[in-house]
A and B are shown apart, each in its own frame.
Chain A
Amino acid sequence: MKSNCDKMKEQIADLITGIPAEKEAQTIEQHLNECSACRAYAQRMEKEEELLTGFFAKFDTNMTSREDEAINIINRFDASGQTNVVSLGKMIMKNLFAKHAAAAALIVFVTLYFIITLTWISQINECIRLCM
């Protein structure tokens, strides 16, 4: 009888928790009507189930404020400008076209820099030559 009760207790726990039980609810209920020890066990399990459901339900009451706080932190972090720089760099590196365009822009910039610098140096040399 005891081993039958032990097996039945597992099924009672599953049934109360909401996990699919191997035995039918009707068979379990029939056993509960006959066995006072298992009935007391089922009552304790039901009480625990209520406690658990209530315990986790209370987190839902302030979930919105938790979500808002998380959003505020993201907005505050972004206000420092750090994420914009990171996202721009990542956006360029992610897209092949953007990567090539960025490389081309860099080459043009460097070439223009050298042309302007050389022109400027030759103009200075010209001025020095005229002065002498």
Chain B
Amino acid sequence: MDCLIRLYYRKGFRNSGLDDFSDDILIAASQRGDKSAYALLVKRHYRHVFAVCLGVVANVDDAEDIAQDVMLKGFLKISKLRSSEQFGRWILRIAKNLCIDFLRREKCARASLAKQAAQQRQTTNENHDLQQAIRDLPQEYRLPLVMYYFDNKSAKSIAEKLNISHSGVCQRIKDARRQLHKLLTEGVHNEE
């Protein structure tokens, strides 16, 4: 914490909290190896990274492991980051790449797990049905949907993070929501 506190007093931020540091300052400190500055960046961005991981891999435990790897990789690679304004997008890009690597590695194992999960579907509770339905969504729908509910339903924020148009995000969420309803309704009919 030493480096950041020294900066904190030098910049005259005594009346403000440590959270008031902009990403620029925290990234510059992190690039010099300041772990406490990077810890604040983790606190600020972990939620979005976790949402992306969950949106891609559709499993909470895997998403948690990958999100931790993303943050560690971010710390090791932060010196390569040229523009500090891009940190949010940059860390989400790392998250997406690590998720894709993970899915590639786990493709066979996941396929068998999905079969098992589908067999168990009939006997599980409502919440598990929802979780399974989210898993069954195609990735291009699941990611914006998960981020939408994580991000206080702000399609604009998702468009900025994923670097796609606002109307594109809205369309994907609409499609995802309709497909999810279909999956859940089919599940109810199957149980009947």
Q: B184–A48 contact, CB under 8 A?
A: yes
Dominant secondary structure of chain B at its interface with chain A: helix
A51 to B131, CA, bound (A): 10
Contact, CB under 8 Å: B178 / A86: no
Q: Interface size class for chain B?
A: 35 or more
Pair A13/B46 contact, Cβ less than 8 Å: no
Task: Answer yes or no: A87 CB below 8 A from chain B CBs.
Answer: yes
Picked from A10, A59, A77, A91, the residue with its CB within 8 Å of the CB of B79 is A91
Task: Write out the residue numbers on chain B whose beta carbons fall within 8 Å of the beta carbon of A71.
Answer: 39, 42-43, 71
Q: Number of A interface residues, CB 8 Å? A: 34
- Interface SS of A by simple majority: helix
Since A83-B75, A84-B33 are in contact, a sample of 6 more A-B pairs with Cβ atoms closer than 8 Å, ordered by chain A residue number, is A59-B60, A67-B47, A70-B71, A70-B72, A74-B35, A91-B79
- 4 closest Cβ contacts across the A-B interface? A56-B149, A70-B71, A90-B79, A67-B46
Chain A residues at the B interface, C-beta cutoff of 8 Å = 10, 13-14, 17-20, 44-45, 48, 51-53, 55-56, 59, 63, 66-67, 69-71, 73-75, 77-78, 83-84, 86-87, 90-91, 94
